[in-house]
Amino acid sequence: MLMVCILAIALNSSGQNRFMLEGTIGKSPIVMLLEIDKGSAFVTYYYKKYPHDIELEGDQSADGVINVKKGSYDFKGEMDTVYESLQIHELANKTGWEGTWKERKGSVLPIKLTGLKTENYLQTKNASFHFVNDSTSFDGKFHLQWNHETGSTIKSFKILTGYTDSILRKINSVIKEKQIEQVNNFFSCAGRKNNIGDFEYTISNVFLSETLISIHANAFWLCGIGHPNSGDMSFTIDAIRGTEIKELDDLFNFKEGKLKYSPDSLFDDDRGRCIVNVLTKLYPREMAKPTDPSQYCNYSKPSYWNYPVWHFTTKGLYIGPTFNHGAASCEGPDFPIIPYSLLPQYLIKEKQISLPK
């Protein structure tokens, strides 16, 4: 039974209203975020049983009725197929909302909604995730408990031993936050015809040391009408402080000689030129510009290194290039590792990070 004693929370900002609602479509419990901006209306909702995001858009009529729908578009950008639509309005006594839901085949179900005390949609959805422990593994003194989220099957782990309890709590909080982020990516990935999209997340390597933790991970996704995509999802944690190191520039400055290093001036390829210079000295053959026209993986081009992917390994710092979608196969080469013995000269001393030996 719906409770009608909680008022919907509306945030007025620049003509925009934002409502966090919960209730039912037919007999199925849902949570909904409704946003109204100058006559336009946007709805994102999920079923509590399986929290995939469903997004609809439309408008609010002069009499306050919300009309939104989800569908596919033709080459002119016009919606040619409607998969589902919602029509709701706020009750006169401001205790909730009601209306109807209609799907493509013509089925119509009633909607009844009341307000939530929170305005944080993601936080509400995160509370519905359920994690189950799987196997355990050991890496020296470090003991890992692996787990997965049941709805998405997204896997990650918790570190049980190897650091002090206070640091472990911080480290595991960062790791769990990253896992929840990927679970949300899974549930936000819609397919081409209103079906569930394809989102996969894989942790391929975990590097653990006294001072640094580096998780090498990748994701693959096919959402909506776009092309398949993949990306590096690696992240690194300062094991002394238990905090994430978010940027490579927070650790290293790869300037050598007269080369500039101005990360804020990436149109000039400053960072890329410095990284190319360092890697060319280590790997001259791999970094040389291809002479064969059929070989389009040109690792000597600085712009491919302006936004590098990176993580630590047993051998040193892996630093990889990023290419556009058409040359994505060039990403992830094995060779670009800067050994630990060479890293101290580039380390930003003020950061007080201790590198593995």
Contacts 24+ apart (CB under 8 A), 78-83: 83/193, 83/194
d(CA 91, CA 80): 32
Q: Which of 107, 125, 150 minimizes the C-alpha distance to 47?
A: 125
Quote the DSSP letter at residue 218: E
Percent of the chain predicted with pLDDT > 70: 88
Q: What is the pLDDT of residue 295?
A: 78
Q: Does the predicted model carry a pTM greater than 0.95?
A: no
**Fold agreement between 16-125 and 129-245:** no
For 16-125, give the CATH class: mainly beta
Strand stretches in the chain, DSSP E: 16-25, 28-37, 40-47, 50-60, 66-73, 79-90, 97-103, 108-115, 131-139, 142-149, 155-161, 198-208, 212-222, 229-232, 235-238, 243-245, 309-312, 316-320, 337-339
- Read off φ and ψ for residue 236, nearest 5 degrees: -130, 140
For 129-245, give the CATH class: alpha beta
Would you state the torsion angle of the CA atoms of residues 275, 280, 285, 290, taken in this order, to the nearest 10 degrees? 60
d(CA 98, CA 25): 10
d(CA 211, CA 230): 30
Q: Is 332 left (phi over 0), alpha (psi -120 to 50) or beta?
A: left
Q: Which two tokens stand for residue 294?
A: 């059929």
d(CA 66, CA 41): 7
> Mind listing the pLDDT tens digit of every residue in the chain (357 residues)?
322 222 233 333 344 689 999 999 999 999 999 999 989 999 999 999 989 999 999 999 999 999 999 987 666 666 678 899 999 999 999 999 999 999 988 899 999 999 998 888 999 999 999 999 999 999 999 999 999 999 999 999 999 999 999 999 999 999 999 999 999 999 999 876 677 889 999 999 999 999 999 999 999 999 877 788 899 999 999 999 999 999 998 899 887 655 555 555 545 578 888 899 999 999 999 999 988 877 779 999 999 998 899 999 999 999 999 988 778 889 999 999 999 999 999 998 766 678 887
Q: Where are the domains of the chain?
A: 16-125, 129-245, 248-351
Q: Is 81 left (phi over 0), alpha (psi -120 to 50) or beta?
A: beta
Contacts 24+ apart (CB under 8 A), 157-163: 157/203, 157/206, 159/208, 159/213, 160/136, 162/208, 163/239, 163/242
> Could you tell me if 323 and 357 are in contact, meaning their C-beta atoms sit under 8 angstroms apart?
no
The residues, any chain, with a CB within 8 Å of residue 21's CB and separated by 6 or more, are 8, 31, 32, 33, 34, 96, 97, 113, 114, 115, 116
d(CA 357, CA 349): 17
b vs e for 242-263, b when ≥16 Cβ sit within 10 Å of the residue's Cβ? Answer: bebbeebeebbbbbeeeeebee
